[in-house]
Structure 1
Amino acid sequence: MLEISDLTLRIGDLTLVQGLNLQLSAGQLHVIIGPNGTGKTSLLRALFGELPLTQGSVRLHGTPMTPHSLPSWRQGIGYMPQNTQLDLDLSALEVVVLGRLQRLSMRLSDDDLGAALEALQALDIAHLADRPVHTLSGGQRQMVLFAQVLLRQPKLMLLDEPVSALDLKHQMQLMEHLQMQTAAQGWISVAVLHDLNLAAQFADQLIVLGDGRLQAFGPPAQVLSSELIHHLYHVPVDVHHDQDGQPYVRTLRASPPREYLMA
């Protein structure tokens, strides 16, 4: 379990997150949603130890995160930040293998190489294995980085907008693989998504942030409502439910289509 207690993050006079309390269970995918500037990325950075806690505490399976424990803390985390530069003279396969950097020796083992190839195959990007990573598209690099994170075999997965550069097919592949492996491996997975329908489709629990505070937490079917979304985003929406009871969001136009105005 990941326990976040009374977490507050500040930079100077700016409060990024205020008084956050959460308990996130193993084997579940938790998706953070909310408008821009509400502390989503700041929360992930704090959980990785990149942003110091102003107040509160974080525990992973009972072990507290402290400034002195950060190196060992990070070894158990698969972290994929939003903006990652890959100006490296390495192949995609070599970048994936770096996911096991902590255990690599002077000689690459067959086990490490095989695991990297399996990760690429699982994400349907094995054909990129020998390509220099700096020649890949933004979406291809994103998939390669996700494969690298998978190879870390983490206790905690932190993914900041992991599908932002992906087409529809690869969005589904990444999210389906993340959901499946989270359940199978008992990971605690936390991802930031802007697509509310994608979040509703794959999240076990939604973490809804607004103005740096927790606005709602729970299963998508219980959390997502037109009132909540309008309150957070100031956009009129309808929230419907499919045959399985899962919600999906349809935005409403504030003005009639242009052709009607020209009629």
Structure 2
Amino acid sequence: MRLRIENLCCSIGKKCLLEAINTDVHSGEIMGIIGPNGAGKSTLLKHIAGILPCKTIFLDEKELSTLSVRERAKEIAYLSQFATTPSMSVLEVLELGRRAYSGMLLTHKDKALMDESIHHFNLAPLLERNIATLSGGERQKVLIAGALLQEPKVLLLDEPISHLDPKNQLEMLLAMRHVTQHKALITLIVLHDMQHAIHYTHRLLMLKKGRIIHDTPTKEVEASMLQTLFDVQTSLHVNNGHTFVYYEHHHDETHLKHHH
């Protein structure tokens, strides 16, 4: 399966948010979307999710704007950066993930899928808790579990780990990688941390001022690309097969001298 974006443009008033966006992503592939603030990363995900209108995004040959809300929920799961949830229990959030298929009456299949998700994300101790009372890491796990229960073909994640501690960040990224590969999802994730972007994605779409400046396999990323993207001196170092990103700061030499 393939998600295809053709010549996507988006303007609000005279401000161009996205210009001539062309790319495609295949099943089992994680595309990281990176770039400075205001580059259009979240706007791009909102177009794919159908929150902003667009007639040039296709899933295989199906134009996404022709789908009803319910049909789209079966194809695309979207977890926004500032996801808000109504006051409901964790169990109710998970049930919501199956409503696009079964309406109010959940089937045996729905319950089996929920049990699998509860086990995979270790949610059993949280089921009766109100989602508003959970920690940031717990809440994100519940939301991604609910999103995956939609059995989507496409998973859209807008900075899903930005407010999590390192342990929960790692858990979230590993879960994303696992489900993308095992369920053959098309996953697009907005990330700020370049280390995570390089370790957990297959391709990187680099956006700056609403335009694609690079669309490249992650293993082929060069320091010069990140330097152009973020306007900061960058170097990449490989150690034991892992690539590490360093940003180099230039200080006025007078600040480095000790005054005696």
What is the TM-score when the length of structure 2 is the normalising length? Answer: 0.90
Question: How far apart, CA to CA, are the structure 1 residues paired with 2:226 and 2:99?
Answer: 42
Matches within 5 A, 1:95-114: 95-114=93-112
Matches within 5 A, 1:69-148: 69-71=67-69, 72-88=71-87, 90-148=88-146
Q: Per the alignment, in what secondary structure is the counterpart of residue 84 of structure 2?
A: coil
| Change beyond 3 A, Cα 1:257–1:203 | farther
Q: Per the alignment, in what secondary structure is the counterpart of residue 128 of structure 2?
A: coil
Question: How far apart, CA to CA, are the structure 2 residues paired with 1:126 and 1:254?
Answer: 50
Matched, 1:239 2:240: no
Corresponding residue for residue 19 of structure 1: 20
Corresponding residue for residue 6 of structure 2: 5
Q: 2:247 aligns with which of 246, 251, 257?
A: 251
Pairs aligned (count): 257
Please say if residues 93 and 117 of structure 1, whose CA atoms lie closer than 8 Å, have aligned partners that are also in contact.
no
Deviation by residue 1:123-180 (Cα, 9 ceiling, x = unmatched)? 2343222211111122321111011111111111111111112211121111112112
Deviation by residue 1:37-63 (Cα, 9 ceiling, x = unmatched)? 00100000001111123xx61110111
Question: How far apart, CA to CA, are the structure 1 residues paired with 2:230 and 2:108?
Answer: 50
How many percent identity over aligned positions? 31
Question: How far apart, CA to CA, are the structure 2 residues paired with 1:107 and 1:73?
Answer: 20
Q: Please, which runs of 5 or more residues in structure 1 have no aligned partner?
A: none
Question: How far apart, CA to CA, are the structure 2 residues paired with 1:106 and 1:21?
Answer: 39
Corresponding residue for residue 44 of structure 1: 45
Following superposition, the deviation at residue 3 of structure 1 comes to 1.0
Please say if residues 123 and 173 of structure 1, whose CA atoms lie closer than 8 Å, have aligned partners that are also in contact.
no
More displaced stretch, 206-215 vs 233-242: 233-242
Matched, 1:230 2:230: no
Question: How far apart, CA to CA, are the structure 2 residues paired with 1:14 and 1:229?
Answer: 25
Q: Which amino acid aligns with 1:40?
A: K
Corresponding residue for residue 61 of structure 2: 62
Following superposition, the deviation at residue 262 of structure 1 comes to 5.1
Please say if residues 220 and 247 of structure 1, whose CA atoms lie closer than 8 Å, have aligned partners that are also in contact.
no
Question: How far apart, CA to CA, are the structure 2 residues paired with 1:140 and 1:255?
Answer: 40
Question: How far apart, CA to CA, are the structure 2 residues paired with 1:202 and 1:208?
Answer: 15
Following superposition, the deviation at residue 31 of structure 1 comes to 0.8
Question: How far apart, CA to CA, are the structure 1 residues paired with 2:109 and 2:163?
Answer: 30
Please say if residues 206 and 229 of structure 2, whose CA atoms lie closer than 8 Å, have aligned partners that are also in contact.
no
Question: How far apart, CA to CA, are the structure 2 residues paired with 1:74 and 1:257?
Answer: 56
Matched, 1:151 2:149: yes
What is the TM-score when the length of structure 1 is the normalising length? Answer: 0.89
Q: Per the alignment, in what secondary structure is the counterpart of residue 82 of structure 2?
A: coil
More displaced stretch, 249-258 vs 91-100: 249-258
Following superposition, the deviation at residue 258 of structure 1 comes to 11
Q: Please, which runs of 5 or more residues in structure 2 have no aligned partner?
A: none
| Change beyond 3 A, Cα 1:97–1:12 | same
Following superposition, the deviation at residue 186 of structure 1 comes to 1.4
| Change beyond 3 A, Cα 1:242–1:102 | same
